[in-house]
Amino acid sequence: MDGQHTEGAGQVAGLPARRLAWGTVADLLGKNRGTALEDAIEPAVQRAVLPPQDAGLARAIATTTFRHLGVIRHALHQRLARGLPDDQPGLVALLATGAAQILYLNVQDHAAVDLAVRLAKSDPGLQHLAGLANAVLRRIARERDDILREGEADPLRLNTPDWLARRWIAAYGEETARAIAAANARGAGLDLTLRPGAPIPEGLDGRRLPGSLSLRLDDARTPVPELPGFQDGTWWVQDAAAAFPAHLLAVRPGERVVDLCAAPGGKTAQLAAAGAAVLAVDRSAPRLRRLEANLARLGLSADVQAVDALALPEDQPFDAVLLDAPCSATGTVRRHPDVPWAKNEADLMRLVGLQRRLLDKAARLTRPGGRLVYCTCSLEPEEGEGQAGAFLARHPDFVRRPITPEEVGDAALVTASGDLRTLPSHWSDEGRGGLDGFYAVRLERREA
């Protein structure tokens, strides 16, 4: 099932959007497991040439399906005589996207059911299951309140893969692990990083977050390019937690700085806005093109190179090095709900080895007396605290420079060792919206 069937059914209002969401989810549950949702759905939207409203609906259905996939799978499994057939991703995706609309989106029940049945009938492999889809989704609609009540009561057990729930309980305790799962289910709003000294643009409805680094919008429904200040280059989109690492590097005008693994570029923009001479490095040329476009809009400059960070020459070390290393991204589930279902512990262990090699490279790129900030958007200690401890044991010429609560606006974000550790459950009280999960350690190389 590839989501590309078009035989006349696309004339029914709303069907093309459902078809695209169904096909994308089926692919990510099946042959393309491990691919990021945004990397899969955006090319599909472009190929389908959907009008903006349908494209937005397709994205919403796919994203919502993954955000609540554990609850949805549990509900479907209980209502199928033989359970949920994991070896049939097309059927699972059809039922899951239909259930996501009924349970979590503002879609009329009969429309969600009818269009799911039409999709089943349009697929030769699922035609004989159209009646099953109709019956199961109608039951989901009838029992909506019970399903939602159960899901909200225990998102850690029902909406988090077992391997990840076990890890979070071991690392943070059961109460915090439950708070993390609840924050992930709520999703995330839109955070902006303002250029240094820039006022909040008139008409931009937002509020400053602790530390005064970020502006959180109270209403994020307006398309980003239409928000006040976008065309003027007053701000860029960046989660509040992601803004901390570059801030902690505390670069000064004229310093030579390298941003390793730089795309999508929020941290590069921070460093350039501070007046540093920035080398931005990333292996992905397409992602760097987005970075360059953003810098151009902001009126900022950096030397952008599409190269492997491990291959950079070391003959001219830098005043400051920022390494936002590739990681499991388990701290970003609020924004990328497919992450828990696309990753596993084997992926984590492979990434830990890459992080170690990148950290050793970053050390060689840091001049004596220079600073190094290592960070990951992961909740896993092996990718954070464990990497920092092992690095300091390997590199006695480096010392930790503790982070202070004043630098981040909240003592709860600073560990006993003086590192940054944000959790999705931080800043989620009183409707503040939470944070992505980040770890950062600030290091300094001793003078020779």
Instruction: Enumerate the known binding-site residues for S-adenosyl-L-methionine.
Output: 261-267, 282, 308, 324
- 299, with CB counted inside 10 A (0-12, 13-18, 19+), is exposed
Active-site positions read 377
Place of tokens 């770890």: 439
Instruction: Specify which residues 237 forms β-bridges with.
Output: 192
Under a CB-based contact definition with an 8 Å cutoff, are residues 371 and 276 in contact? no
- Rounded to whole angstroms, the Cα distance separating 418 from 400 reads 8
- Rounded to whole angstroms, the Cα distance separating 147 from 135 reads 16
- Rounded to whole angstroms, the Cα distance separating 164 from 156 reads 9
Query: Three-state SS for 256?
Result: strand
Cα 339 to chain centroid, rounded? 8
Q: Quick one: which of 196, 204, 9, 20 has its CA closest to 97?
A: 20
- Gyration radius (Cα) of the chain, Å: 23
Half-sphere exposure of 292 (CA within 13 A, CB side): 13
Structure tokens, 339: 């992450």
Query: Three-state SS for 339?
Result: helix
Cα 215 to chain centroid, rounded? 18
Q: Mutual orientation of helices 89-104 and 109-122 as an angle, nearest 10°?
A: 170
Place of tokens 């945004």: 38
How wide is the angle at C-alpha 327 spanned by C-alphas 324 and 330, nearest 5°? 115
Q: Quick one: which of 259, 237, 234 has its CA closest to 249?
A: 259
